Every structure is written in C-alpha cells, then in structure tokens.
Chain A
Amino acid sequence: MIRTEEMLLNVGPQHPSTHGVLRLLVKVDGERIVETEPVIGYLHRGTEKLAEDLTYTQIIPYTDRMDYLSAMTNNYAVVHATEKLMGLEIPERAEFLRVIVMELNRVASHLVWMGTYLLDIGAMSPFLYAFRDREQILDLFNELCGARLTYNYMRVGGVKWDAPKDWIGKVDHFVSYMQKQMKEYHQLVTGNEIFIQRTKGIGVYDQETAINFALSGANLRVTGLNWDLRKDAPYSIYEQFTFDVPVGEVGDLYQKYLCRMKEIDESLKIVAQAVANFPSEGKIMGKVPRVLRVPEGEVYVGIESPRGELGCHIVSKGKDKPWRIKFRRPSFYNLQILPTLLKDENLSNLVAILGGIDIVLGEVDG
C-alpha cells in the first residue's frame, strides 16, 4: 500500500536564505508547502526595555542595531520623536545632512536587498555588484561619522558631525555614478527571462490583504496604494523636494523588485536636489540643554524607512529617560503575511517570497 506523508522541514535558524536567524517550521507535502510557522526571537535584545533605563542620547546607538541595514533612519525615528515632544527647532543644515544620509542609506539598503534577493534565487554576480556600489555609500558615511554600519550619527537637535570638506561634492559624484550603474542592473537583471519567470505572478496579494496585515513600504505600495510617509505625513524637509512614489499594480514579486529599484532612482533624485540646495553655512546643532528632560506627554512619529513605516512611540513622565518607548518595526509587521503567502506554494518559492518581504532580523526581533 502506497501512502504519502507530510514532512516537517525545519528551515533555519541556520539557513543561508533566512537572512539571519529566522526559523520556519514548514510542513511539506512533496515539494508543496502545506503550512508554515515562523519562529522568531533568536536575536531579541529587548531594546525597548533597555531604553527605559537610558537617557535619550544613549538610546540612539541601540537603534542602530535594530535595522542594521539602514541605521540612519532608525536614528532619525527616535531623535525625531524626542524633538517633537520637546518642540525643538532644527537648523537647516542639519536637516539637509539628515535627509542626505537617510536617502543614501535607503539606496544602500535597497542595494543589499537586491543583491541578496538575487542570491536567494540563484544569481551570484548581482550580489557582488550591489555590494561594490554600496561600499561607496559606506565609505561616504565612514568619512562623515566614522562608522560603516552602526552610525550613531544623529542627535536630538541636529547631527553629531558636520560634513567634511568636499564631502558634498563626493555625494554629488556618487549620485551621478549610481544613476549610471542603475542601467547596468536593469540590463543584467530586469530583463532576465529566468528572473521574470521566477518572480512574475508569484507571491501575489491584493491591496485589502496588504492593509489588513498592516504592511507598509514597498510591500504595500506594490499592490497599487500610493502611501509613502515622506509624502503623506511629511517630516523633516521632505516637502521641499520633488520626487515620485513608485507603485505597482498586481502585487507580485517582480513588481516589488521594480518598486524598490525605482525607489533607488527617486532617492538619488532627492539626494541630488539636497546636494544642489545644500546651505553652505549654518549650525548643525540646535539650542539643546545639556541634560535632555523631555516634558511629560506622549508622542508617536512614523517615518518611511526602506522597509516601511518605522514608528517610534515615546511616553515621557518628564524625566531624562523615557517611561516607555515602543518601536513599530516594519519588518516585524511585514513578516506576518508570510504563512498566508506560502500556503500551497512550491518549496522553491519559499526563499523567493521570504526574500521579497525584505526582512531584517535585527528589526523583527527588536
């Protein structure tokens, strides 16, 4: 008597394509996925709890380690929330520097995504090209703040370091270099028949599902909803810049790829405008007291990180430390749709769909 049996496959936490320490308990019937259960928490460090015992400035380096691919946006989330609660004025030059580094970080983050995503589906070279170009951004950051990954660059009231001499020129040079490189990526990847076959029509979900799962970022925009916090709830000086929000139509993996690639283009546009209008003079720190005592109150700010809506909710009791701080970590919210998407999919689509969500485990686990 022939019978078939479901097999429990344990993917991760040590697996090359789970982007860190995600563990998936996958029930497979042959190569068809019946059920998936993500297990998270292997990288949990309790950032939110730790932050309750830290002053506002001390929290900033902890946020670097959440979404380590775009530490600048994390820095900004906590800094921006604190500033909003304190009602601080930020010097223009500092705002420009912040926007430049945040957008460059978005480019770097999307490059890592693009490279690792193609690595997941079996193409090796784009990964190295992406890292080669990302390296230039890291070099720029290194020159600016002395760190390549965990920048700890922003402060409540401004930024820590002013741009070194010629740094703005180098950024300008990078923008035009990167715009040229984008053509190479499109030539190598976008039209590749195998890549299209692997991604088109895979992992589709509609707008309603996306909203119900609280997706944000490219994961939401791919369904056709034009929702970008830089436009819809503008913060910093984003209102000054003209840029488009790329949206998809059907919500498959291929459009997610296109969305993110276009976001790189848009970010470069913003950087180019910021560089062109960069104030030649000015302070980089506003008037901030030596010890930050944030007035009693509550504040929530949401900013557009490369992965989606990165929120920071601070409850202050008027002390120099937050009473409670909560981060809305977009990777964590975006990951929740995974079991739904993976149901009845082929096992080889697992990594393609998981990679498409673009999670950073440091952020998922907090």
Chain B
Amino acid sequence: MNTLLLYLGPVILLLIVLGFVTYAILAERKVIGWIQGRIGPNQVGPWGLLQTVADIVKLLIKEDTIPKNADKTLFKLSPIIAFVPAFVVLAVMPFSSQIQFTDIGVGLLYYMAISSITTIGILIGGWASNNKYALLGGMRSAAQMISYEIPLVMSVVGIVLTVGSLNLNDIVEAQQKTWFIFPQIIGFVVFIISSVSELNRTPFDLPEAESELVAGYHVEYSGFRFAFFMLAEYVYIFAMSSLTTVLFLGGWNAPFGFTFLPGIVWFIIKFSVVVFFLYWVRATMPRIRVDQLMQFAWKVLLPVALANIILTTLLKEVPFLTHYY
C-alpha cells in the first residue's frame, strides 16, 4: 500500500499541478481582464473554463518547427532543462502536515538550488535559437535570475536564523503562534520582490519583454516546446507561491485558532492570495529597465536583505522578543 502511494503520489501531484496551471492561466486572464475593464475569455466552454485546454490542444497539434540554423540538440534540450526543475522543487513543499513527498533536512536550500537550474535552460534556449532577440533575451534572463537569486536567498536567512533549521516543516511548525511575515517584514518585502523577478513577471519581465525583444528567449519556439516554457513558468508560480506561504504566511497553520478548516484549506487560501497578488502586480506596473534592474538588485535589495540578517541576529538577543525571534 505504501509503495503504491509512493509511486502514485507524484503522478497525482503532477496532475494537480497541471490542473492548477490550466486554471491559473484562465484565472490570470480573467483577473487581469476585470482589472482592465474587460470580460476575459468567455467563449470556450461555460465561463471560458475550457479556454486553456483549447490553447494547449492548439499548441500540441501545431507543426514542430526548428529553425534551420539552430543548434538542434540544444534547441530540443532547453525546454526540458527549463521545465524539469520546476516540478522537482515541489517535492519538498509541505502542503499540509500530512501531504509532503520528501521531508529533507535542507528543504529550503534544495528549493533554491534546484530552481536556479532553469536559468541554464533559458540561456541555452536563447543561444540555440540562433536569433538575435532570443540571444538578448537569454542573456538578460541569465543576468537577472542570477542577480536576484542572491537577495532571494539572503532574505530568508532571517527565518533560518530564527527557526534554526532549513527544513520547511520545522519552519511551518515555528509559525504556529506568529507568522514570519510580521517579525520578518523586511525579509518578506525583499523576498516578494526577488521572487517576482525570479518568476520573470512584470515589472521584471525583461527576458520576454514583448515590446522590446518581441518574445525574448522563446521567440523561435512554437508548439509544444513553447508550451513547455510556459508550463515551467506557471509551475514556478505554483512553487513560488507555495514557498511564500510556507515561509511567511504560516503554511498550513490556521490563523486566529480557526482550526475548523483543515490545514490544506488554509494553505490553499493563503496560496491563492499570493497568486492573486502576482496577477495584480502584473496588471499595474510598467517594466523596469535592464540596467536599473541590476542596480536595484545589488544596491538596494541585497544590502536591505543583509541588514535584515543583522537585525534578526540582534533582536534574537533581546529578552522579551524571544517569542518572535
């Protein structure tokens, strides 16, 4: 029975994630549509519910084109490299006190390490396409994702110091009384900005800046290879929103002792709030410029994140604050 679950579990998670992606795209289009005074997709299926399905089917039955001068091996490999880590990071995510696939000691580090592999996929994709726009997009992407990984990691060090563990379960357990968003508010702000950047979303969507680079690194991709890039992007939204929930919003813990709802429901609610926030930002912000992006990461976010670490270590020593730190 347990062995069966061990093999079936990941398949179920995969299906859940795919289901999420399908409806996250629809939800994004609907939410942004409402913000912009439009209706959003409403033609395919009732209330547009089959819109994404139709889109995916369209992508899958498209002709598989590879540019003549592209590096064929790398061109085919790149969507896979970009996509696989997106799924793999979900293994350590504690969705509730029961639902988690692997409870490893360095879960947080694992997430950060694996998620950075995607950058390589994007860079390879930009290079292998043999297209100038794609190359510029890939280069930008590499520079951006590497720069923002550092403040992203640094911003959560405060939590690690407080909990004394990199295990995501321990981190959630430690938030039973206070969510880390309150004592670690500086870390949270840095984290959320860096994570939007890691997700390549507005205002940090430079790698695929439509109005400048047409589509950036995936300009030459079409059909299911393109679908894989998009899938990776949305799975990362899933993963990053989950991570935000786990690190700062108390994971499956119920707020105010409202334990009548099971932990997984609370997780989904908090998770949805984060996802909505990402959509909201996208509908509101213009795109930041590439050189300003770098300056912002190195001159603002990183020092702030470092200051947060020092602050946390200092506050840890204050007697009446031990409850929080």
Contacts and interface: CB of A to CB of B under 8 A. Distances in A.
Interface of A: 7, 9-10, 15-17, 31, 118-125, 128-129, 132, 188, 192, 194-195, 197-198, 346-351
B65 interface: no
Contacts of B133: 9
Contact of A125 (B136, B209, B283, B288): B283
B203 A122 contact: yes
A128 B36 contact: yes
29 contacts: A7-B132, A9-B132, A10-B132, A16-B210, A119-B211, A121-B286, A122-B202, A122-B287, A122-B288, A123-B287, A124-B32, A125-B35, A125-B283, A125-B284, A129-B36, A132-B37, A194-B203, A194-B286, A195-B286, A197-B292, A198-B289, A198-B292, A346-B289, A346-B291, A347-B212, A347-B290, A348-B206, A348-B209, A348-B212
B286 A192 contact: yes
Contacts of B209: 122, 348
A349 B36 contact: no
Nearest to A196: B286
A192 B206 CA distance: 18
A16 B213 CA distance: 9
Given A7-B132, A31-B136, A348-B212, A124 B36 contact: yes
A121 B286 CA distance: 6
Q: Size band of the B side of the interface?
A: 20 to 34
B288 A194 contact: yes
B289 A123 contact: no
A32 B206 CA distance: 16
A350 B284 CA distance: 22
Contact of A348 (B35, B203, B283, B290): B290
A198 B37 contact: no
B205 interface: yes
Interface in B193-244: 202-203, 205-206, 209-212, 214
A363 to B, nearest CB: 21
A120 B286 CA distance: 9
Nearest to B289: A348
Contacts of A351: 211-212
B261 interface: no
Given A7-B132, A31-B136, A129-B37, A17 B211 contact: yes
A164 B123 CA distance: 60
A194 B290 CA distance: 12
Per DSSP, chain A at the interface is helix
Interface in B104-158: 132-133, 136
Contacts of A7: 132
Interface in B10-45: 32, 35-38
Nearest to B292: A197
Contacts of B206: 348
A118 B282 CA distance: 13
The 5 closest A-B pairs by CB, nearest first: A122-B287, A123-B286, A128-B36, A17-B211, A122-B286
B136 A17 contact: no
Contacts of B35: 125
B321 interface: no
B109 to A, nearest CB: 32
Interface of B: 32, 35-38, 132-133, 136, 202-203, 205-206, 209-212, 214, 282-292
A66 to B, nearest CB: 25
A327 B132 CA distance: 38
Nearest to B203: A194
Contacts of A194: 203, 285-288
B285 A347 contact: no
Nearest to B286: A123
Contacts of A121: 211, 286-287
Given A128-B36, A129-B37, A195-B286, 16 more contacts: A122-B205, A122-B285, A122-B288, A123-B284, A123-B286, A123-B287, A124-B282, A125-B35, A188-B284, A194-B287, A197-B292, A198-B292, A346-B290, A347-B290, A348-B209, A348-B289
Contacts of B292: 197-198
Contacts of B290: 31, 346-348
A117 B25 CA distance: 26
A330 B283 CA distance: 33
A173 to B, nearest CB: 19
A202 B112 CA distance: 36
Nearest to A15: B214
B74 to A, nearest CB: 20
A15 B211 CA distance: 8
B290 to A, nearest CB: 5
Nearest to B133: A9
A119 to B, nearest CB: 6
Contacts of A10: 132
Contacts of A349: 289
A120 B210 CA distance: 8
A350 B37 CA distance: 30
A350 B211 CA distance: 10
A20 to B, nearest CB: 14
A281 B277 CA distance: 56
Given A194-B286, A347-B136, A120 B36 contact: no
A194 B291 CA distance: 13
A16 B282 CA distance: 19
Nearest to A349: B289
Contacts of B132: 7, 9-10
A23 to B, nearest CB: 14
A69 B36 CA distance: 22
Given A9-B132, A122-B209, A124-B36, A16 B287 contact: no
A270 to B, nearest CB: 28
Contacts of B32: 124-125
Contacts of A120: 211
B214 A125 contact: no
Nearest to B37: A132
A350 B287 contact: no
B286 A198 contact: yes
